[in-house]
Amino acid sequence: MRTTILGRSGLEVSRIAFGTGGFGGQWGGFDEDTAVAAIRRAHELGITLFDTARAYGTAEALLGKALRSELDHRRDGVVIATKGGTHPGSDRIRDSRRAWLTQGVDESLRALGVDHLDLYQIHWPDPRTPAAEVAGTLQEFVDAGKIRHAGVSNYDATQLSALNETVETVQVPYHLFRRGAEADPLPYARAHNVGVLAYSALGSGLLTGSLIADTVFDPSDWRSRSSAFRGDPLRHNLKIVDRLTAFAEERGGTVSQLAIAWTLAKADVAIVGARRPASIEKSAAGFPLTPADLAEIDRISADAVPVGGASPEGID
């Protein structure tokens, strides 16, 4: 497993991170024992960075359970990143005020069973809370030893610049069917040595090769309400996936390995979720791509239908 230094944070992490968003209730049900096994298998494969969030329901507690031995006895061997600042069910879904962030970071510490978080990220920008207040709160967490490093998620370049001296990483949605980050904020992040973590590297399942045109999603799965995952948009993108699959197989890999390698050509880290050990085994396998390969992948996917994702307010 290759590693990288995550921007100016200085954190050395695996280039593939294990994401726990699939355990948060927005992707349908899952088996907890199998999920724990998948997390443990990820660590065995050399994955050291694990990403979770307060908004993912019991995911933090599940991650703490799965990595209990490492967290208790080899704490420096794993990097725990979580996110806060959302308040589902309230009249302020995005809430980065000091009081709510403080409550959230303390809850995250308890759920994970740790005395500090390696990376704490503001999950979604809150336009109603001044950047200076957010920066001050994050610095308080660092000074108190609750967190080692601060980051943000789903921020654009303008929002990043307002927190530039405090924030060391940014998490962005980025995959072959969602490429807006290439224009904003990736150039800003590169220019200011902000570490980039790309989530949904597998296109919310599209780039796993497991979906078909007739796939039926659980009603609790956000994809059941997304126009990109039904009808003509889905059929069109699945044809592109078929061509990408053939391209990957010619080179001895899978379409998911290709998708992750493509993402890592632009981002420091690709966050990959898995509910079963076999899934993370496939994703963790390396897959080298040449500049010519990257150009061909771009050509194959040039007319893809853009795919959004879930947000605190609904579906993008």
Pairing of strands 49-51, 16-19: parallel
Q: What is the rounded average pLDDT of the residues 146-160?
A: 98
State how far the Cα of 145 lies from the Cα of 161, in Å rounded to an integer: 25
Q: Average per-residue pLDDT in the chain? A: 94
pLDDT tens profile 6-31: 999 999 999 999 999 888 756 667 78
Please check whether residue 185 is in contact with residue 154, taking contact to mean a CB–CB distance below 8 angstroms: no
- Name the active-site residue from 56, 155, 174, 188: 56
| Residue 198 pLDDT | 98
Amino acid of residue 37: A
Amino acid of residue 123: H
| Residue 25 pLDDT | 59
| Residue 28 pLDDT | 62
Residue 56 annotated to the active site: yes
Tokens 């001895």, located at residue: 252
> How far are the Cα atoms of 167, 170, 187, 210 from residue 260, in angstroms, in the given order?
25, 18, 20, 16
Among 57-66, 164-173, 236-245, 273-282, whose mean pLDDT is lowest?
273-282
State how far the Cα of 104 lies from the Cα of 174, in Å rounded to an integer: 26
State how far the Cα of 140 lies from the Cα of 35, in Å rounded to an integer: 34
Q: Is the pLDDT of residue 316 over 80?
A: no
* Residue predicted with more confidence, 104 or 222: 104
pLDDT tens profile 97-147: 999 999 999 999 999 999 999 999 999 999 999 999 999 999 999 999 999
Please check whether residue 259 is in contact with residue 176, taking contact to mean a CB–CB distance below 8 angstroms: yes
Instruction: Quote the pTM value.
Output: 0.95
